[in-house]
Each structure stands twice: as C-alpha cells, then as structure tokens.
Structure 1
C-alpha cells in the first residue's frame, strides 16, 4: 500500500461529507494537508478543492443534495449498487457494522454503515481492513465514479482518487462495472434495475439523518 493512501482516504472522507457550516474550514484544512503531502495521487482531490473554492456554502450544499440524494445512480450508500432495496441489503449493512466494531471502531448511529465517507474514514483509521472493504465495494465505487462523470460533477475527481488507490485498472466502461457488480446479484426483484432506468428518489430515501 502506498504510505499516502490512508491520508488520501481521510481527505476524500472529509470532502465527501455534507458541506455544512464547517465547510470553509474543512476545505482549507484538507487542501493544505494535501498540498503538504506532495504526492501525485492527491491531484484529483486538489482539482476538486480548486473547482469548489469560493463556492458559497449554501450553493454547494444544494448541489450536494442534487448530486447524491436525488438519483439512485449517484447515491453514496454503496450496498445499494449491489443489493438494491432487498432484505439482503439489511444483512449486508449489519455485517458492515459488525466488521467496524470487530476492529474497534464505532461509526455514528445517525448514518448507515455503507455511507462512503464512513468507509473512507474506517480505511484511514484501519488501513488494511478498510482497504479490503473498499476493494469489496469496487463495483459500486466505479459505478458512482462513472455516474458523477456523466453528471459533470466535480465530485467525480474524489471518486477517481479513491478508485486510483485500489489495485488493478478500473473497468473500461459501465458494462464492465455492472458485470463486476453482478458478481453478487440480489435474489429479489429490486437490485440493479435502478441503474438501467435512472429514476429519481426522494431525498429521505438515501440521505442520512446527521446533517
């Protein structure tokens, strides 16, 4: 593992968090730390920092909601990409929470354990098991990266940075990423179907309660 990878995961976790009142200070802290880190792997994260620099917090918060909370293709809840709205997703979420606790980390109770910033925070604190979890969710990460790119969102650079920390090349296209996701298909009627139709969700269906 690149020695800078935990720091990159921590930076990505902070940048993917909801841009509340603390955002200006958070943005500055992450940008300065990435600049000091001085690794080429930080370039996509620094591009994101530059792209949103000076954006009013309320405007960025509104864009965040439109980007992540109103499209199944762009949700930050990673198990949705492989489990959909199935009972299987519940067991997957429970296993994730147990995995965190087994390594001495208790995520906040007001967010689902598959929320990408939480996985990245865990990977920063517990690099080996955390990186393994990110590898397990590579299909979801790649699908989210492609969806953000298609959407023209600066957040795509954050996903690019995260995917670049994983071994091997990224899928060449969406078909390959979907094939990777189907390696563990849901057994019920709702699974990967949302990604072919791209319907919108109410924000409450995918947002956490801690913002």
Structure 2
C-alpha cells in the first residue's frame, strides 16, 4: 500500500460516514501500511465503534462529535486561529496551494477540513511532489492536527485514535526527509 492510498484511507475515516464496510477496509489498510513501516496503528480501537453501531448511529455520533463541538471540529484553521483574521489567511493559502498543484476537492467541505487536506496529500504523492507534500504537512497540516489531537475529549472521544493515527502518519512522513 502506498502513502497516497493511506492518506486517502485516513480521509475516508474523517468524512461523514456512508459505509461501515468501507471505513473498516480503510482502517485495515492504514494498519497494514503502518505495520510495513514498523509502527502500531493507534486507530485499531476505532474498529469496535464501526462494528457495534448501525450506520444511523455512526452518522449521529459523527455529527455529535464533530459538528456540535468546536474543540473537535475537523477544520484545522479553527484550531490554529480560532475566529481571527488568521483563519481567513490560512484558508486562502490552502486554496491557493490546491490550485497551484491542480487539485480540486471532490467534496463540498471547506478547504481546511482534515479529510480534504489528507486527500490533497494523496494527490501530491501521486504527482510526485514529495518535497512539497512534506513541506505542506510541516507548515500547514501537522500544527493543526497536533492541536486537534490535544484538544480534549480524552479516551471517551471515539475519533481520537483516528486523529492520533493521522498525527503519527504525518510525523513519520515528515521524518523521511531527514533520513
């Protein structure tokens, strides 16, 4: 499995749920990739929720966790800048970067939604922009993911293992530039 496929799989876990089977397959792919890298997958406990809840319950949980709690929102500009002008500048920078590399999100989500950012990282990998991808991670994505991962919610937040896995993959990807 490639890094691009792994980023896409992570993105699917952070999008509005449509299929438990697709999410389980994505989780398995992420775990396999991390195992190939010699790493454990922090997201494996997420399997329990995917297998125990109906799709309706999973969708309700997603809305309750992400849409009704700003501390857990998957919009990185919010975590980095709150409701300041910096948030707008971040969004413009992200959108301009998407345009520069010919990326058009397949969703109506805002450009700073974590799933959109992860799909963009997959796009950069597919077009061979390794250095640009790692720089974008370090400067634009990882700081927001780190804040999201530390935003609270603790062990009772079901998506925390997915966020921690995202952070692990991003940090691992960035470290590859120094080896």
Q: Same fold (TM over 0.5)?
A: yes
CA contact (8 A) 1:93 1:113 kept: yes
Q: Are positions 1:77 and 2:75 aligned together?
A: yes
CA contact (8 A) 2:6 2:29 kept: no
Q: Are positions 1:140 and 2:128 aligned together?
A: no
Q: Which has the larger radius of gyration?
A: 1
Q: Are positions 1:33 and 2:36 aligned together?
A: no
Q: In the alignment, what sits opposite 1:150?
A: 154
Q: 1:131–1:13: structure 2 CA closer, same or farther, 3 Å change rule?
A: farther
Q: Deviations over 1:112-163 (max 9, x none)?
A: 1000000111112213333432322323211211235526122111111111
Q: In the alignment, what sits opposite 1:195?
A: none
CA distance in 2, matches of 1:145, 1:71: 14
Matches within 5 A, 1:1-211: 4-20=2-18, 23-34=19-30, 37=33, 38-39=35-36, 40-41=38-39, 43-108=41-106, 110-127=108-125, 128=130, 129-136=132-139, 137-147=141-151, 149-150=153-154, 152-167=156-171
Gaps of 5+ in 2: 173-179
| TM-score relative to the length of structure 1 | 0.67
CA distance in 2, matches of 1:72, 1:140: 13
SS of equivalent to 1:165: helix
SS of equivalent to 1:132: helix
| TM-score relative to the length of structure 2 | 0.77
Q: 1:34–1:161: structure 2 CA closer, same or farther, 3 Å change rule?
A: closer
CA distance in 2, matches of 1:81, 1:67: 15
Aligned residues: 164
Q: Which has the higher helix share?
A: 2
Q: Which has the higher contact order (CA 8 A, sep 6+)?
A: 1
Q: 1:42–1:48: structure 2 CA closer, same or farther, 3 Å change rule?
A: farther
CA distance in 2, matches of 1:120, 1:41: 19
